[in-house]
Structure 1
Amino acid sequence: MSINAWWMLGEALWETVYMVAVAGALSFVFGIPLGVLLHVSRPGKIMESRLLNQLLGGVVNAGRSIPFIILMVAIVPFTRLLVGTSIGTSAAIVPLTIAAIPFVARIVEGALNEVPAGLVEAAQSMGASPMQIISRVLLPEALPGLIHGMTLTLVTLVGYSAMAGAIGGGGLGDLGIRYGYQRFDGVIMLATVVVLIVLVQLIQWAGESLQARFEHKQA
């Protein structure tokens, strides 16, 4: 490849990392509390509320049922309202975040469901408040599962970011479509695919290493 092609590839990689990192961080900020609420409001849990659980569950299920490419188009007015444009990496972060929040919420709920009920009952018997149980029992005990879920979320966001590039979101997807596919440049297309594979492998490796470390500490 030419120097210009390498430069474009590096720029596209940076844009993808930027989109995934920011959207991932925002989805964790909003998705983790949502997942905690889904868990603690379930029947028999520490903050049981059937109405709240059904309401939140319905919203999360609705968000997860919308294909990402449709979601991007559907919320274009909202994206423009937030960032002033519907094209580019900053604009792509909005649908990426919205798509990831329900995903994170269900992962968090599932991880918390794996925490032994006996630990929660023991904390309750010692007079712990619901917030203390959440912060000192549920989240610490579920941490390896949460890290696994966050890793899966970031990997999924890499795939979503490539789709965002197909409609002007920038990043590796945009490079692969505009220069690889539309200009019939097989080298650029292959390089884009290889970089995406390497990026996913790095995220997976980092997530698994972090998860193993916390699992070892809990053992």
Structure 2
Amino acid sequence: MERIVELLPELTVALGQTLLMIAVAIPAAVALGIPLGVWLFTHAPGGISPSPRAHRLVSGLVNVFRSFPFLILLIAIIPFTRLVVGTTVGTAAAIVPLTVNAIPYFARLVEQNMTQLGGGAVEAASAMGATRGQIIRNVLLVDARPALIGSITITMVSFISFSAMVGLVGGGGIGDFAIRYGYYRYETEVMAVAILAMLLLVTAVQFVGGRLVRRTDKRLA
């Protein structure tokens, strides 16, 4: 217990680094992933503005980046990371691969959210003369809001786990803390505390996300 108290300042810093990674990567994924996901939905065969060739190309690129094992991606884009932030170690460097991986991951979830809405509301809006932009803003994004919040929650939980991996390459955060003390120094209680901190963080995200979904879902009102 004394050892844990002694390391509490370092644990606090590590937790702050993890929160910083998520606080940058997830908003970036949402800001870029929603337009990309909407594009994938609207330009798919049978969509509002079908464009099969362009859709196949963009969808293929999304699949490549989304399915790339994160640890391999982390190493593969080291030159890009260095170009963007000027270093390949530390929290700032860890944010780059997290964001690159999170954008296509979230975009695919957005596309699925749109697909699950069905075509009834879109057809009704089209029949009333709504433009493509109006359909996207006032129908698709509004009706998909609970699902989008759920997808943001899923993405955050997944990338909290991914953020622990960057500790393997000196990226900071809870993962780095657990590796330095719990793995290299065989301090089991320190490892247990790091795991507990991650579990509490994930639980908090799940709780808040679930509450927001229930508040915004008209079917549960």
TM range (shorter): over 0.9
- CA deviation map 1:132-162 (0-9, x unaligned): 1000000100111111110000001100000
Q: Which amino acid aligns with 1:19?
A: M
Give the structure 2 partner of residue 172 of structure 1: 174
Tell me the equivalent position of 1:206.
Answer: 208
| Structure 1 Cα separation of the partners of residues 153 and 219 of structure 2 | 19
Superposition TM-score, scaled by structure 1 size: 0.97
Once the two structures are TM-superposed, the CA of residue 22 in structure 1 deviates from its matched residue by: 0.7
Cα 1:7–1:15, aligned 2, differ >3 Å: closer, same or farther? same
User: Which amino acid is the alignment partner of residue 68 of structure 2?
Assistant: I
Letter in 2 for 1:132: Q
The one-character-per-residue Cα deviations of 1:25-52 (angstroms, maximum 9, x if unpaired) are 1111111111000000111211111012
- Among 61, 64, 67, the alignment partner of 1:62 is 64
Which stretch of structure 1 is more off in the superposition, 208-217 or 37-46?
208-217
- What SS does the corresponding residue of 1:184 show, helix, strand or coil? coil
2:155 corresponds to which residue? 153
Q: What's the Cα RMSD here? A: 1.2
Contact 2:146 2:217 in 1 (8 A): yes
Cα separation, 2, equivalents of 1:51 and 1:116:
23
Structure 1 segment 63-212 matched on structure 2, within 5 A:
63-212=65-214
| SS of the residue 1:166 aligns to | helix
Aligned to 1:44: 46
In structure 1, list runs of 5 or more residues that go unmatched: none
Q: CA separation in 1, counterparts of 2:17 and 2:164?
A: 11
For 2:153 and 2:213, the matched residues in 1 are separated by 9
What is the CA–CA distance in structure 1 between the aligned matches of 2:78 and 2:44, rounded to whole Å?
Answer: 34
Q: CA deviation at 1:116?
A: 2.7
1:115 partner SS = coil
Q: 1:81-128 deviations in whole A, cap 9, x for unaligned?
A: 100101001110000011111110110000001113111011111111
**Contact 2:150/2:209, CA 8 A, preserved across alignment:** yes
Q: Distance in 1 between matches of 2:111 and 2:86?
A: 34
Identity %: 46
Query: What SS does the corresponding residue of 2:205 show, helix, strand or coil?
Result: helix
Task: Indicate if the aligned counterparts of 2:214 and 2:220 stay in contact, CA closer than 8 A.
Answer: no
For 2:11 and 2:34, the matched residues in 1 are separated by: 33
Whichever residue aligns with residue 76 of structure 2, its letter is A
How big is each residue's C-alpha offset from its partner over 1:53-107, in whole Å with a ceiling of 9 and x where there is no partner? 1011100111122100000101001001100101001110000011111110110
Which is further off, 187-196 or 209-218?
209-218
Q: Output the amino acid matched with 2:158.
A: T
**Deviation readout 1:141-185 (Å, 9 max, x if unpaired):** 011111111000000110000001111110000000011110111
Structure 2: segments with no counterpart, 5+ residues? none
The whole-number CA distance in structure 2 between the counterparts of 1:44 and 1:74 is 36
1:22 aligns with 2:12: no
